[in-house]
Chain A
Amino acid sequence: GDSVTQMEGPVTLSEEAFLTINCTYTATGYPSLFWYVQYPGEGLQLLLKATKADDKGSNKGFEATYRKETTSFHLEKGSVQVSDSAVYFCALSVAQTGANNLFFGTGTRLTVIP
């Protein structure tokens, strides 16, 4: 079946450190891949997405590249800020018979300390 495996957290980094959160997937078809972010007390916000192999999604300094050969979609940021502290979810969607629900990873909590 379709699933996402996400790097276990929590992750604690100092401000300006480099961030990588690993995400790998299993999909029966050709998925689209997403990173969502959840700030404390809020809903999920789309951070970035990629819809085909070798696509790179980017937003707010975050990047992720859709790697079909390694079935991965790792999230990276060169220099994190305190305001990046949140829970990050990797997700995939595979359109099937008119439906396209999201399958989420377990989430990775990031804390950035000054």
Chain B
Amino acid sequence: DSGVTQTPKHLITATGQRVTLRCSPRSGDLSVYWYQQSLDQGLQFLIQYYNGEERAKGNILERFSAQQFPDLHSELNLSSLELGDSALYFCASSPHGTASTDTQYFGPGTRLTVL
């Protein structure tokens, strides 16, 4: 158990809908990262937050957004869903997130299926 929790574990929805994925980082970790894992794209970085502020953006679509709240939990919002958004979404956390040596600890993931 990494100490990172994600809810829900599974999510099934229809095209055009909007969903929210939630992540609670390990106690004391200030950085939260979101990654998408799909068969065709592999594991891709979406976005990083550090202590409530956005730090880095990767291949995140404009239909997707995220935020980190004062209690440091984070939410990833996916809207106007398409079939291709079906994937496993991982959240990770790290103590600081400003040094390459920082280890990221991953949650169990949320499996999103868009029908």
- Provide the bound-state CA to CA distance between A99 and B33, in Å: 10
The CB with the most chain A CB atoms within 10 A, among B4, B43, B99, B102, is that of: B43
- Given the known interface contacts A94-B100, A98-B98, the answer about A103 and B45 at a Cβ–Cβ threshold of 8 Å is yes
Band of interface residues on A: 20 to 34
Closest to A107 in B: B42
- Given the known interface contacts A43-B2, A43-B106, A43-B109, the answer about A99 and B43 at a Cβ–Cβ threshold of 8 Å is no
The reply to whether B90 and A43 contact each other, CB–CB distance below 8 Å, is yes
The reply to whether B103 and A30 contact each other, CB–CB distance below 8 Å, is no
Question: Which residues of the other chain, B, contact A46 by a CB distance below 8 angstroms?
Answer: 103-105
The CB with the most chain B CB atoms within 10 A, among A32, A93, A106, is that of: A93
Instruction: Decide yes or no whether A109 CB sits under 8 A from chain B.
Output: no
The CB with the most chain B CB atoms within 10 A, among A34, A49, A102, is that of: A102
The reply to whether A49 and B98 contact each other, CB–CB distance below 8 Å, is no
The reply to whether B102 and A100 contact each other, CB–CB distance below 8 Å, is yes
Instruction: Decide yes or no whether B25 CB sits under 8 A from chain A.
Output: no
The reply to whether B100 and A44 contact each other, CB–CB distance below 8 Å, is no
The CB with the most chain A CB atoms within 10 A, among B45, B50, B90, B106, is that of: B106
Q: Which residues of B contact A (CB under 8 A)?
A: 2, 4, 33, 35, 42-45, 48, 50, 55-56, 58, 90, 92, 94, 97-109
- Given the known interface contacts A31-B100, A49-B103, A93-B100, the answer about A107 and B109 at a Cβ–Cβ threshold of 8 Å is no
Q: Which residues of A contact B (CB under 8 A)?
A: 29-32, 34, 36, 42-46, 49, 51, 89, 93-96, 98-107
- Given the known interface contacts A32-B101, A51-B101, the answer about A101 and B50 at a Cβ–Cβ threshold of 8 Å is no
Closest to A31 in B: B100
- Provide the bound-state CA to CA distance between A65 and B20, in Å: 40
